[in-house]
Amino acid sequence: MQRYLVTGGCGFIGSNFISLLLRKRPDAYVTNLDALTYAGNPENLADVQGDPRYTFIHGSISNPADVAKAFEKVTDYVINFAAETHVDRSLTGAAKFIETNVMGTQVLLDAAVKNSVCRFLHVSTDEVYGSLGDYGQFSEAESPLAPNSPYAASKAAAEHMVRAANKTFGLKTVITRSSNNYGPYQFPEKLIPLFLTNAMEDKPLPIYGNGRNRREWIYVEDNCEGILAALERGQDGEAYNIGSPNELSNLDVTQAVLAETGKPNTLIKYVQDRAGHDFRYSMDCSKANMQLGWFPRVSFSDGIRRTAQWYKEHKDWWARIKTGEYLKYYEKQYGTK
């Protein structure tokens, strides 16, 4: 029996990870601590509801009492997905990102040290590296952390606290830095689910600036496999890039979405670029390849097809989300409904 505490497990990547973990590790018992903020949805884990190996606790990682409750059961491993993640929201409200991503991570680290967990894995992002020009890649050994948005800065700060816990208190830690994820259950404020659902409703697809900003896109299941590999085979105190060879411009991604939904290019709407918009991310993942034996398996063409099909089949899931406060935020952000 292995006991895992997963934080933020009702979110997009966290829920996919819990499903994969319970499916692949029969001896895994999972406690999911989630605050159920706007992007957290228990429906994301409908496939594990009723599994005796799964327990849900409603609580925040920034609340020591909630974290203490989550640690009441013996915990072998902690996997921290809990975070505020949307760059756009961080530009108008950085305080919440500091509270959850930095202070919340520290609360978890304190509890992990106190309870002598076997390993603490912190899920981070390629955005902590900053921005690239037309060439080059980020590497764990050679690229400094140089975040450019409040979101990225909060994730970089959390990484430093994880490193401090490892070096000062001997907590066994691993960090993963993933590229842009996409797939089932992603909240429709992020580019791919936003554009898929908008296209399905014949609504505009708002592209920042000229659409030439470039990202690496990784299918969520590939990322979850990488996180599990890092948890089980990663070296103590190390960080691992978890990315893919699927580097595309935002306009390329938009064209793929339109092709999958059978919608015309006239839905594209260029909007004012966001402040401090990083131009390009690309990661060297050879360290994860060599040390973890991990490689991404899903091509972008296959992944976008799977993702589009999921959103077509689950309109009831996303239609309920795209109402109320979501619409107010969307209109404020993009100047359109």
Residues 175 and 197 in one domain: no
- Return the DSSP state at 235: P
Phi, psi values for residue 81, rounded to 5°? -95, -20
CATH code for the domain of 67: 3.40.50.720
Closest CA to 80 of 55, 63, 100: 100
- Return the DSSP state at 126: G
| Residue 88 CA to its chain's centroid (Å) | 15
Closest CA to 208 of 153, 145, 250, 253: 250
Tell me what pLDDT residue 275 has.
92
* CA gap 214, 224 in Å, rounded: 22
Residues 223 and 79 in one domain: yes
* CA gap 71, 320 in Å, rounded: 33
Residues 58 and 155 in one domain: yes
User: Does residue 325 fall inside a structural domain?
Assistant: yes
The alpha carbon dihedral of 216, 40, 333, 184 has a sign of positive
**Which residues are designated catalytic?**
126-127, 151
Q: What is the pTM of this model?
A: 0.96
CATH code for the domain of 310: 3.90.25.10
Residues 235 and 313 in one domain: no
Domain span including residue 209: 184-215+246-274+299-329
Residues 57 and 90 in one domain: yes
Cβ atoms of 55 and 30 closer than 8 Å: yes
Please name the residues in contact with 201: beta carbons below 8 A apart, sequence gap of 6 or more: none
* CA gap 226, 57 in Å, rounded: 25
Residues 152 and 265 in one domain: no
- Return the C-alpha torsion angle 312, 336, 252, 267, nearest 10: 70
Residues 21 and 122 in one domain: yes
Residues 105 and 205 in one domain: no
Residues 303 and 233 in one domain: no
Residues 143 and 164 in one domain: yes
* CA gap 17, 273 in Å, rounded: 33
From first CA to last CA, the distance across the chain in angstroms is 50
The segments of the chain whose pLDDT lies below 50 read none
Q: Tell me: the pLDDT tens digits for 237-293? A: 999 999 999 999 999 999 999 999 999 999 999 999 999 999 999 999 999 999 999
User: Does residue 289 fall inside a structural domain?
Assistant: no
User: Does residue 55 fall inside a structural domain?
Assistant: yes
